[in-house]
Amino acid sequence: MNKIITVSREFGSGGRELGKRLAEHLRIAYYDEEIITEIAKKSGLAEEYVKSIVERKTITYYPITIGRTLTTTFNPQLELSAKIYAEQNNIIKELASKSDCVMIGRCSDYILREYNPFKIFVYADMSSRLWRCRQRTPEKEYLSDTEMESRIRGIDKGRARYHEFLTGQTWGAKENYSLCINTSNIAIKDIVLPIAELFKTIYMISNDK
C-alpha cells in the first residue's frame, strides 16, 4: 500500500508550504488545488463553485457523512453539493492509489484512513499567521490586522465545520493526528528534514511489525 502524508492546517500556519516541501524532499507526488480541478472536470461545474463548496460554504443542515446513505427531500443545491463531495472522495482515493503522496486538506486524512496515513496538523499563534498572510497578500489588497484576523478566523471556522460535517470528528483534535506542529516563529524550511525522517522511521517500524 502506498505511503501517504495528509496535511491539515490552520490558515496562515504554513501547512501548505510544509506539505509541498515534504513532497519535494521525499520526491513523492503532491496534491492540493489539483483535487479541485479534477472535481470540476468530472462534475462539469466551475472550479470557483467547487472551491466554494469544498472550502467555505458547507451546507450544515445536510449531514452527508462519507459512507452514509440518506434520503432527503430533493433540493438542487444539496444535490450539487452531494455530487461534489462524492467526486472529492473518489478522486482523493484514486490519486492515493497511484503512488506515495502528500495530500493537502479536504478531509483526506479521514477519506484515506484505510491507508493508515501519516496525519499532520499544523497550527500557529495569531501573530505568526498574520505575518505569513502579509507575506503573500498583494499590497493593493491591504487589510488591517483586525480585518485580516477576522478573515483568518472565518476560514478556520469554515474548515472546522466542513471537516466535522463530513467526518463527524473535531478538526484539530490532537487524538486524530499522527503529529501536531506549532509553527509559531519557525521557518518552515527548517523543520522539513526532521519531519521527513520521522515519517520514514514510523513507516519502517510499521513495516517491520
Average pLDDT, whole number, for the chain?
85
Tens digit of each residue's pLDDT (9 = 90 or more) over 65-89: 444 444 445 556 667 777 788 888 9
Domain presence at residue 78:
yes
The rounded distance, in Å, linking the Cα atoms of 150 and 68 is 34
The model's pTM: 0.83
- In sequence order, what are the beta bridge partners of 102? 5, 30
Q: Are 114 and 133 in contact (CB under 8 A)?
A: no
Tens digit of each residue's pLDDT (9 = 90 or more) over 87-120: 889 999 999 999 999 999 999 999 999 999 999 9
CATH number, residue 67: 3.40.50.300
The rounded distance, in Å, linking the Cα atoms of 98 and 35 is 14
Domain presence at residue 209:
no
The rounded distance, in Å, linking the Cα atoms of 144 and 124 is 19
Domain presence at residue 150:
yes
The rounded distance, in Å, linking the Cα atoms of 35 and 23 is 16
Domain presence at residue 115:
yes
Give the chain's domain count: 1
Return left, alpha or beta for 61; rule: phi > 0 is left, psi -120 to 50 is alpha, else beta.
alpha
Domain presence at residue 205:
no
The percent of residues above 70 in pLDDT, for the chain, comes to: 85
**Containing structural domain, residue 142:** 4-200
Q: Considering only CA atoms, which of 1, 17, 201, 19 is closest in space to residue 103?
A: 19
As a residue count, the chain comes to 209
pLDDT for 60 beyond 60: no
Domain presence at residue 208:
no
